[in-house]
């Protein structure tokens, strides 16, 4: 069975700039895949290539095994894709029900609209207009409209950008629950690591128009393929293997030529107030509520960052030893074969 979405060697140039530079990827039926990366990395352009709003300068796009871009060309309206944009693109002169019903055939329209409004928690809002809704409610309408014609694929372009932070988490979980209930395949564009981690089955990490790494969240976090990937995904320490005890090597993954360097996540480094065994001094402490970030200056001049629960208190200027905890690598990653970064 072919992938629901497959891109082969996609290239899209704007003048001398390659916004998408040889990207290949596949998305299986029912999968949620996040396109993650910093601004300008090409993720929105890649989404537009999949949707048909951009024509590739090279490469092909296949949807359910059918070529829609490359030697052939299928326009967006014939790709059976649902789309949710940052600004929701609702029709201001139409009611909620009319927005959701837009483009549906008359047969079964009323039942389908009612079904989706109930699923989206919008019962009682059918007769309202977009300007009478909150941002979160407008987004639910946009998702319901995208799902109305029963597409097999839904593309989301940073849809939670305009939602207040305290509402965002609950809203995105509700939206993803609706999408999964419909059984659609989802591609989500985001620049937020936590969003990709919590919502996606797999993450495509993009850098300067190219795929840097593809994998589940724990693979990207604990086994990054490059220093850039390690730092983008989260705080990271890069320590010489020789500086760690043999039994501490399990805390990191190989990084660098000759695998002489290990990447260790801050939460795997525990600070122990033990003057006799101390190897450094706490020079900075940042309380963040649920945890505390410590910066430790080691006696050899190296600086490391440790992330500890907020009930483990170590004062600034305290002399400490370091205790390393094992990195919980996913089963798909074998430590001896971990890609050097």
The domain spans of the chain are 5-221, 236-337
236-337 shares the fold of 5-221: no
Q: Check residues 160 and 189 and name the one with the higher pLDDT.
A: 189
pTM across the whole model: 0.90
pLDDT at 262: 83
pLDDT band at 243 (very low <50, low <70, confident <90, very high): low
Over residues 249-299, the pLDDT tens digits come to 567 776 655 466 788 999 999 999 877 889 999 999 999 999 999 999 999
pLDDT at 169: 83
pLDDT band at 314 (very low <50, low <70, confident <90, very high): very high
Q: Which CATH number fits domain 236-337: 2.30.30.100, 3.40.50.300, 2.40.50.140, 2.60.40.420?
A: 2.40.50.140
Q: What are phi and psi of 335, to 5 degrees?
A: -55, -45
- DSSP annotation of 309 reads E
Is the predicted pLDDT of residue 76 greater than 50, yes or no?
yes
Q: Which of 30-34, 112-116, 178-182, 195-199 has the lowest mean pLDDT?
A: 178-182
Rounded to an integer, the average pLDDT of 244-248 is 55
Instruction: Please give the angle made by the CA atoms of 221, 269 and 305, to the nearest 5 degrees.
Output: 80
Question: Percent of the chain, pLDDT > 90?
Answer: 68
How buried is 264 (Cβ within 10 angstroms: 0-12 exposed, 13-18 middle, 19+ buried)?
buried
**Length in residues, the chain:** 341
Number of neighbouring beta carbons within 10 Å of residue 216: 15
Q: Which CATH number fits domain 5-221: 3.40.50.10890, 3.40.50.300, 1.10.10.10, 3.65.10.10?
A: 3.40.50.300
């Amino acid at each position: 069975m072919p992938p629901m979405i497959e891109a082969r060697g996609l290239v899209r140039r704007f003048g001398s700039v390659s916004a998408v530079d040889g990207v290949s990827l596949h998305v299986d039926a029912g999968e949620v895949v996040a396109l993650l990366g910093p601004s300008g990395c090409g993720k929105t352009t890649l989404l537009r290539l999949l949707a048909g709003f951009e024509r590739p300068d090279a490469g092909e796009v296949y949807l359910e095994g059918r070529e829609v871009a490359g030697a052939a060309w299928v326009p967006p309206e014939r790709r059976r894709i649902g789309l949710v944009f940052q600004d929701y693109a609702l029709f201001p002169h139409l009611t909620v029900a009319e927005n959701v019903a837009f483009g549906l055939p008359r047969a079964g329209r009323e039942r389908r609209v009612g079904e989706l409004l109930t699923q989206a928690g919008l019962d009682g809002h059918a007769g309202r207009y977009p300007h009478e809704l909150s941002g979160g409610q407008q987004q639910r309408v946009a998702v319901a409209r995208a799902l109305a014609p029963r597409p097999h694929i839904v593309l989301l372009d940073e849809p939670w950008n305009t939602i207040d932070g305290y509402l965002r988490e609950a809203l995105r979980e509700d939206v993803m629950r609706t999408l999964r209930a419909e059984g659609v395949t989802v591609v989500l564009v985001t620049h937020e690591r936590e969003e990709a981690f919590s919502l996606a089955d797999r993450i495509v990490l993009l850098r300067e128009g190219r795929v840097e790494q593809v994998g589940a969240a724990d693979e990207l976090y604990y086994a990054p393929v490059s220093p850039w990937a390690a730092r983008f995904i989260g705080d990271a320490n890069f320590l010489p293997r020789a500086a760690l005890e043999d039994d501490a090597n399990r805390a990191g993954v190989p990084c660098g030529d000759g695998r002489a360097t290990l990447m260790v996540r801050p939460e795997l480094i525990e600070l122990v107030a033990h003057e006799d065994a101390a190897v450094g001094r706490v020079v900075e402490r940042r309380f963040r509520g649920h945890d505390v970030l410590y910066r430790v200056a080691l006696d050899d001049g190296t600086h490391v960052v440790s992330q500890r629960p907020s009930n483990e208190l170590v004062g600034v200027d305290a002399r400490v030893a370091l205790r390393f905890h094992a990195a919980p690598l996913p089963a798909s990653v074998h430590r001896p074969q971990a890609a050097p970064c």
